């Protein structure tokens, strides 16, 4: 009786391990496509345009690649851009613009954008992904996620 119980338990455990793997194995029909809007607060015409323009183009190209290759099934990525001209007075305007266009997340290369919009983004529930970091962002991250490490 003991060996039958162990064999039965092994079968049940094997089934329990396989069932979660089958969740992704369904029909190829997509019922609903979720659109994720990425707001890009960038500099296309200001003093940082030489660095930021290729980064913005790369973001758009990468999102288009993900969409066309179907790398995220059921998800469509859309990028909406706002040219801040690397002018701090335009950061808030850019935030309002991409938010009005439905931004689910904001991308920026400028830590100043993240620092100035951290509180508003936290209130609105819109995460900001920043390519670089500062002490202020590390000490009070709020809604900001920094990609670069800060050396202290």
- Exposure string over 81-93, b if 16+ CB within 10 A, otherwise e: bbbbbbeeebbee
Decide which of 102 and 19 is more confident.
102
Three-class DSSP category at 133: coil
Helix, strand, coil percentages (3-state) for the chain, rounded to 5, are: 50, 20, 35
Q: What is the pLDDT of residue 17?
A: 47
Q: Given pLDDT bands bounded at 50, 70 and 90, which one contains residue 25?
A: low
Report pLDDT digits (tens) over 51-99.
999 999 999 999 999 999 999 999 999 999 999 999 999 999 999 999 9
Q: Given pLDDT bands bounded at 50, 70 and 90, which one contains residue 7?
A: very low
Q: Given pLDDT bands bounded at 50, 70 and 90, which one contains residue 4?
A: low
Does this model's pTM top 0.85? My answer is no
- Output the average pLDDT for the chain: 85
Q: Give the integer Cα–Cα distance in Å for 23 and 25.
A: 6
Overall average pLDDT of the 129-140 stretch: 90
């Amino acid at each position: 009786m003991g060996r039958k119980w162990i064999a039965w338990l092994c079968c049940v455990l094997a089934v329990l391990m396989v069932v979660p793997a089958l969740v992704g194995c369904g029909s190829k029909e997509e019922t609903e496509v979720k659109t994720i809007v990425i707001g890009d607060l960038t500099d296309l015409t200001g003093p940082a345009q030489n660095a930021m323009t290729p980064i913005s183009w790369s973001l758009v190209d990468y999102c288009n690649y993900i969409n066309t290759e179907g790398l995220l099934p059921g998800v469509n990525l859309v990028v909406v851009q706002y040219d801040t001209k690397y002018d701090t007075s335009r950061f808030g305007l850019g935030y309002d613009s991409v938010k009005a266009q439905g931004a689910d997340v904001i991308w920026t290369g400028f830590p100043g954008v993240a620092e100035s919009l951290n509180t508003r983004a936290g209130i609105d529930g819109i995460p900001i992904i920043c390519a670089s970091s500062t002490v202020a962002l590390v000490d009070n991250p709020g809604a900001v996620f920094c990609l670069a490490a800060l050396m202290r």
